[in-house]
């Protein structure tokens, strides 16, 4: 798992305003909540966070930052059957890695189990809640349908005393799971299904990851969330669109909780959808459990830990999040926007290095056998402060197979027989002979170099069409490189009614190259360090690396107008 977590300071100046900012500004102008702004990020610890959560994290913490308010981290842990400490820990790690700080405001819904239980008793005493002995199916049938009103439970009018006694016995564990539930008494004919006497407590005899076996009744989401917000002094409870219809219920509970002017306000926004990926925690879990990927942090996963391992930076994710905006329109964002965001950041910050993925040996026939020299290379042309490094050069080199064509088309500028190209930061070379085996497979290339072009410039002003990357065979570090492609072949794998999303898994989403050569500079790299392999893409060092064998992950390729050109024809 991730070791090198560097908290990056939040210097983003963009923070594009959105409709929630407008609502808050307006309220502030009216003096609401005495100018206080307090949000929260409330994940259920039942899985790893994904890029969709990142949007929510940036939104909630971003609002706090923008309005000089606060943002809490709260675990919505009201269902012990699904929640685990492993998830709690990963979530905290991910939020921190993204660059946000909840300071001392770490909360759990389970912190409020007692208060919630007290409130439930209060509702019973006010004759606004009752114990229902019917089973799940019966209750469900009585709820009616969105177009048909529900009917009342025969237990709806039990006396307060009886309800109090029953709920006490539920709490004491006298009943089996499913034997009965506590329901709010609202309106079985409401056009809003959520107002038809919603269940607020159920019996669960599963130990809770924090409270152990102290409780055997647990509050439902709707009963816990608004009250938790209230007790924490949350002013804006931001959630996704599907909770829109829950809002009247959210308000109903808070209105019955306490008489005061202060009310947390629920505001909904559209969750993030990305092309070629799925965002459902349940389905991501399925990919992990069925081993379609190698864990939650597999670099192909849209999880934050996956993106981190893949080489995404917190800045790039924050910028992405800002760029996509916040609205109530259900849309799908093109992954290319995410990719643009990493390229943008890594272009400015990544150490450049030369690495050959598919090696083709080149022998410089006029370069002395046992000699070698060191050439100066620029670490990052976008940032002079990053300085230069030495790159070893010798008689035997590797170049990229794609950089040589025996019979090149007219627009191919790279190496071919008789053609001269520049080896980046080194010399001009000319291909003099293609050496093949008896089957006609290319074994290696014989080239000559021009000693006068050392450093890459010809004193006679001679130009070459192309500069290619290379690596000195005897100095290079043999590495493994993992190339990733999109996990799904379909733009919307989740959007087909009759086809399971797994049908669209891309069988070629991972390609492992074991014979790659990278310049010795990378020997000192630590896991997660970012590099640009010149002319290829951005890569980072994987946790699986050993000093003997580095392993690199492809974060994203460089834009490539050559293959684009090729695909035209």
Q: Which residues are catalytic?
A: 44, 271, 281
Which of these ranges, 28-36, 205-213, 229-237, 557-565, lies near RNA under the rule CB under 7 A? 557-565
Burial of residue 163, with CB atoms counted within 10 A of its CB: 0-12 exposed, 13-18 middle, 19 or more buried: buried
Considering CB under 7 A, how many residues would be counted as binding RNA?
89
Burial of 8 (0-12, 13-18, 19+ CB in 10 A): middle
Q: How far apart are the C-alpha atoms of 7 and 192, rounded to whole Å? A: 44
Residues 43-102 that bind RNA (CB under 7 A): 44, 76, 78-79, 82
In angstroms, rounded to a whole number, what is the distance separating the alpha carbons of residues 383 and 47?
A: 39
Query: Is 329 a binder of RNA (CB under 7 A)?
Result: yes
Is 151 a binder of RNA (CB under 7 A)?
A: no
Which of positions 294-323 make contact with RNA (CB under 7 A)? Answer: 323
In the complex, what is the shortest distance from the CB of residue 435 to RNA, in angstroms, rounded to a whole number?
23
Residue 29 as a binder of RNA (CB under 7 A): the answer is no
Tokens of 91: 């979530």
Q: Which residues pair with 108 in a beta bridge?
A: 75
Stretch that binds RNA, among 6-14, 257-265, 326-334, 364-372 (CB under 7 A): 326-334
Q: Between β-strands 420-423 and 467-468, what pairing exists: parallel, antiparallel or unpaired?
A: parallel
CB 18 to RNA: min, Å: 4
In the complex, what is the shortest distance from the CB of residue 79 to RNA, in angstroms, rounded to a whole number? 4
User: What is residue 427's DSSP assignment?
Assistant: -
Restricting to residues 437-496, name those near RNA by CB under 7 A. 455-457, 466-468
Q: Please identify, among the stretches 117-125, 301-309, 335-343, 357-365, the one whose residues bind RNA according to the rule CB under 7 A.
A: 335-343
Run of H or E including 355: strand 355-356
Tell me which stretch binds RNA (CB under 7 A): 250-258, 298-306, 338-346, 434-442: 338-346
Q: How far apart are CA 190 and CA 192, in angstroms?
A: 5
Nearer to RNA, 197 or 298 (CB): 197
Site string for RNA, 403-442 (x = CB under 7 A): --------xxxx-------x-xx-----------------
Instruction: Determine, following the binding rule CB under 7 A, whether residue 203 of this chain makes contact with RNA.
Output: yes
If one asks whether residue 24 binds RNA (CB under 7 A), the answer comes out as: no
Window 359-388: residues binding RNA (CB under 7 A): 380-382
Nearer to RNA, 195 or 298 (CB): 195
The tokens of 111 are what? 């912190």
Q: How far is the CB of 240 from RNA (least distance, A)?
A: 8
Binding segment (CB under 7 A) for RNA, from list 90-98, 198-206, 438-446, 479-487: 198-206
Residues 258 to 277 in contact with RNA, rule: CB under 7 A: 270
Buried-exposed string 136-153: b where 16+ CB fall within 10 A, e elsewhere: eeebeebbbeeeeebeeb
Residues 209-248, interacting with RNA (CB under 7 A): 218, 220-222, 225, 241-246
In angstroms, give the least distance from the CB of 138 to RNA.
Answer: 8
Distance CA 130, CA 166 (A): 9
Q: How far is CA 147 from CA 90, 141, 165, 201, in A?
A: 42, 13, 36, 26
CA separation for the pair 469, 516 (Å, rounded): 13
CA separation for the pair 107, 265 (Å, rounded): 19
Query: Which parts of 528-547 interact with RNA (CB under 7 A)?
Result: 532, 534-535
- Cβ proximity to RNA: between 218 and 367 the closer is 218
Best CA proximity match to 278, nearest among 443, 102, 434, 500: 500
The least distance separating RNA from the CB of residue 220, rounded to whole angstroms, comes to 4
Site for RNA contains 174 (CB under 7 A): no
Could you give the 3-state DSSP secondary structure of residue 124? Answer: helix
Binding part of the chain for RNA, among 47-55, 56-64, 197-205, 506-514 by CB under 7 A, reads 197-205
Binding RNA by CB under 7 A: which of 114, 157, 327, 366? 327
CA 566 to chain centroid: 33
Closest by alpha carbon to 314, among 1, 18, 4?
4
Residues 102-141 that bind RNA (CB under 7 A): 134-136, 139-140
Q: Residue 560 CB, nearest distance to RNA (Å)?
A: 5
Return all residues near 177 (Cβ < 8 A) that are at least 6 apart: 202, 203, 204, 205
**DSSP code at position 559:** P
| Options 126, 433, 515, 560; binder of RNA; rule CB under 7 A | 560
**Is 185 an interacting residue with respect to RNA (CB under 7 A)?**
no
Min dist CB 341 to RNA, Å, is 8
Q: Which of 121, 188, 193, 446 binds RNA (CB under 7 A)?
A: 193
Burial of 335 (0-12, 13-18, 19+ CB in 10 A): middle
Instruction: Lay out the sheet containing 217-219: strands in order across.
Output: 129-132, 181-184, 199-203, 217-219
Query: What is the footprint of RNA within residues 3-22 (CB under 7 A)?
Result: 16-19
Nearest approach, Cβ of residue 192 and RNA (Å) = 5
């Amino acid at each position: 798992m991730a070791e090198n977590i560097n908290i990056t300071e939040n210097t983003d100046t963009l923070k594009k305003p959105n409709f929630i900012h407008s609502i808050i500004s307006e309220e502030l102008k009216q003096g609401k909540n005495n100018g206080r702004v307090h949000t929260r990020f409330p994940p259920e610890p039942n899985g790893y966070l994904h890029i969709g959560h990142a949007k929510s994290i940036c939104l909630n913490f971003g609002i706090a930052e923008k309005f000089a308010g606060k943002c809490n981290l709260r675990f919505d842990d009201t269902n012990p059957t699904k929640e685990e400490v492993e998830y709690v820990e990963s979530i905290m790690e991910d939020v921190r890695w993204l660059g946000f700080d909840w300071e001392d405001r770490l909360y759990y819904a389970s912190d409020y189990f007692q208060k919630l239980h007290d409130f439930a008793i209060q509702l019973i005493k006010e004759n606004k809640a009752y114990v229902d002995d019917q089973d799940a199916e019966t209750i469900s049938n009585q709820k009616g349908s969105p177009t048909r009103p529900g009917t009342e439970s025969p237990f709806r009018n039990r006396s307060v005393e009886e309800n109090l006694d029953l709920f006490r016995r539920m709490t004491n564990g006298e009943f089996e799971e499913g034997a009965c539930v506590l329901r709010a008494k609202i309106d079985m004919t409401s056009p809003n299904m959520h107002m038809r006497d919603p269940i607020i407590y159920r019996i669960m005899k599963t130990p809770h990851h924090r409270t152990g076996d102290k409780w055997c009744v647990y509050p439902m989401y709707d009963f816990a969330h608004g009250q938790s917000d209230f007790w924490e002094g949350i002013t804006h409870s931001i959630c996704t669109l599907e909770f829109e219809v829950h809002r009247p219920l959210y308000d109903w509970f808070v209105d019955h909780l306490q008489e005061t002017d202060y009310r947390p306000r629920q505001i909904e926004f559209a969750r993030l959808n990305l092309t070629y990926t799925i965002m459902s925690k349940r389905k991501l879990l399925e990919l992990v459990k069925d081993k379609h990927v190698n864990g939650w942090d597999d670099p192909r996963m849209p999880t934050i830990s996956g993106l981190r391992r893949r080489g995404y930076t917190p800045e790039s994710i924050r910028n992405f999040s800002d760029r996509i905006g916040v609205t109530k329109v259900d849309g799908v964002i093109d992954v290319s926007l995410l990719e643009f965001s990493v390229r943008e950041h890594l272009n400015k910050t990544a150490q450049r290095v030369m690495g050959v993925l598919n090696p083709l040996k080149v022998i410089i026939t006029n370069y002395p056998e046992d000699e070698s020299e060191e050439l100066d290379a620029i670490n990052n042309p976008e940032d002079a402060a990053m300085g230069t490094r030495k790159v070893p050069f010798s008689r035997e080199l590797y170049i990229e197979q794609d950089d040589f064509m025996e019979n090149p088309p007219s627009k191919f500028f790279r190496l071919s027989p008789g053609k001269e190209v520049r080896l980046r930061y080194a010399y001009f070379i000319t291909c003099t002979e293609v050496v093949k085996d008896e089957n006609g497979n290319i074994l290696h290339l014989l080239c000559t170099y021009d000693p006068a072009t050392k450093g890459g410039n010809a004193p006679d002003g001679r130009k070459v069409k192309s500069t290619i990357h290379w690596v000195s065979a005897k100095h290079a570090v043999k590495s493994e490189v993992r190339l990733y492609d999109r996990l799904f072949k379909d733009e919307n794998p989740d959007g087909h009614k009759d086809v399971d999303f797994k049908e669209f898994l891309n069988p070629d989403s991972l390609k492992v190259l074991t014979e790659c050569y990278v310049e010795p500079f990378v020997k000192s790299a630590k896991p997660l360090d970012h590099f640009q392999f010149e002319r290829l893409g951005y890569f980072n060092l994987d946790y699986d690396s050993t000093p003997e064998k580095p392993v690199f992950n492809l974060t994203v390729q460089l834009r490539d107008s050559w293959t684009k050109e090729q695909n035209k024809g």
